[in-house]
Amino acid sequence: MARQPTSGERPTVKDVAASSGVSATTVSRVLAGNYPVSTATRARVMKAVRELDYVINAQARALGGGGTKTVAFIVHDLVGPAFAYVGQGVEQEATAEGRLCLVCTTHGDPERELELIELMREQQAEAVVLVGGGSNSSSYIERMTQAARGLDKSGSRLVLCGRPPLGPDVPATVVEYDNEGGAYAITSYLISLGHRDIVFLGAGRPGHSTVDGRLRGFERAHKAHHLPVPQQQTRAITFDRESGYQATHDLLAHGHKFTAIFAATDVVASGVLVALREAGLRVPEDVSVVGYDDIPLARDLTPQLTTVHVDHEDLGRTAVRYALNRDRHAMNQHTVIGTHVVIRDSAGPPPKPRRGGR
């Protein structure tokens, strides 16, 4: 009898072939189902497959036949709620398209990001989805452009998810959401409620594309309503609860005058709420607070947070869909996903002025 697979070792097509008395080719065809094979033969092969507990070797298949069915997902970290949802979307769509999903985290390190892209090129990932705002510096953009070209040459596709395009000649797919629009809308909402002294909490990290967009929307809303753009908080904010807390605390301590706070993210807003509460200020009676992202947390806060809804999961799904089904010659694609205000309980009219004046 031909090649009895050593027990404890992984059987190969050859083992299956030998065990069912056909050639390796035939086994391959039965498994792929892309070539006529007689019913009897197919049955014999399948029987052997079952008996030997054979499973194909994905690496070998990738080498020989089509490529690897893999999508890579590169992100700051997995635990940020917004990122997690994007990840969910990416995984979802990748699975729906029959792809596997590789995930890596950068912890905000641009070097690491580029390293990972290189790694994904080795892995022959079909698409590399980069999530989260990146730097706006020109050297960074230059390097990223190189990376995009490299991936393109390897038959892969770079997808920028939630950050602006690199340039017209760069082979990359861009899917971002309307940061500016959402910020414009929610700022307008605050203005329409009567607020005139709104603090934008989150500036101070210029060059960060996501916040830049939100800030632009904030400013544009003021201009549209013919209001002076409030002097922003330029404190460096790290976009976590603590920095929101700290910034609010400082604001209060310095006797700043304001009736509303626009936190750059919901997480920051959560810190803001705590600081306000500690200071004995009621929300929204004394101060209105709004956030951005509409992560689940927004509904768990007290009061529930009025914020800008972003469908992060859709963002991830769209990114993968576009990357995989793109028109072969589309150099760059660009899609913007809408955002909208969701009104809850944390924003209301400003308090009646104590001593007149707006």
Partner DNA sequence: CCAAAGATAGTTAGCGGTTTCTATCCCCTG
Partner DNA sequence: CAGGGGATAGAAACCGCTAACTATCTTTGG
**Binding of residue 57 to a second copy (CB under 8 A):** yes
User: Smallest gap, in angstroms, from Cβ of residue 24 to a second copy?
Assistant: 16
- CA separation for the pair 178, 137 (Å, rounded): 21
- CA separation for the pair 80, 239 (Å, rounded): 11
Residue 83 gets which letter from DSSP? H
- CA separation for the pair 160, 196 (Å, rounded): 36
Quote helix, strand, coil % in the chain, to nearest 5.
45, 15, 40
Of 24-32, 85-93, 254-262, 280-288, which part binds a second copy (CB under 8 A)?
85-93
Of 23-31, 91-99, 136-144, 159-167, which part binds a second copy (CB under 8 A)?
91-99
Residue number, 85 or 189, with CB nearest to a second copy? 85
Here's the x/- map for a second copy, 6-35, by CB under 8 A: it reads as --xxx-------------------------
Q: Which of 109, 122, 5 is nearest to 53 (CA)?
A: 5
Q: Which of 310, 216, 207 is nearest to 262 (CA)?
A: 216
Which token pair is 82?
């917004």
Out of 24, 46, 81, 333, the residue judged to bind a second copy by CB under 8 A: 81
296: preceding bond cis by omega (within 30 degrees): no
Out of 241, 309, 317, 344, the residue judged to bind a second copy by CB under 8 A: 241
b (16+ CB within 10 A) / e for 7-40 = eeeebbbebbbbbbebeeebbbbbbeeeeebeee
Out of 14, 97, 114, 123, the residue judged to bind a second copy by CB under 8 A: 123
* Total residues in contact with a second copy, by rule CB under 8 A: 50
Of 148-156, 190-198, 217-225, 348-356, which part binds a second copy (CB under 8 A)?
148-156
Binding site for DNA (CB under 7 A): 10, 12-14, 21-29, 31-32, 34, 36-38, 40-41, 54, 56-57, 60-61, 63-66
Residue 241, contacted partner among a second copy, DNA, none, CB below 5-8 A by kind: a second copy
User: Smallest gap, in angstroms, from Cβ of residue 98 to DNA?
Assistant: 14
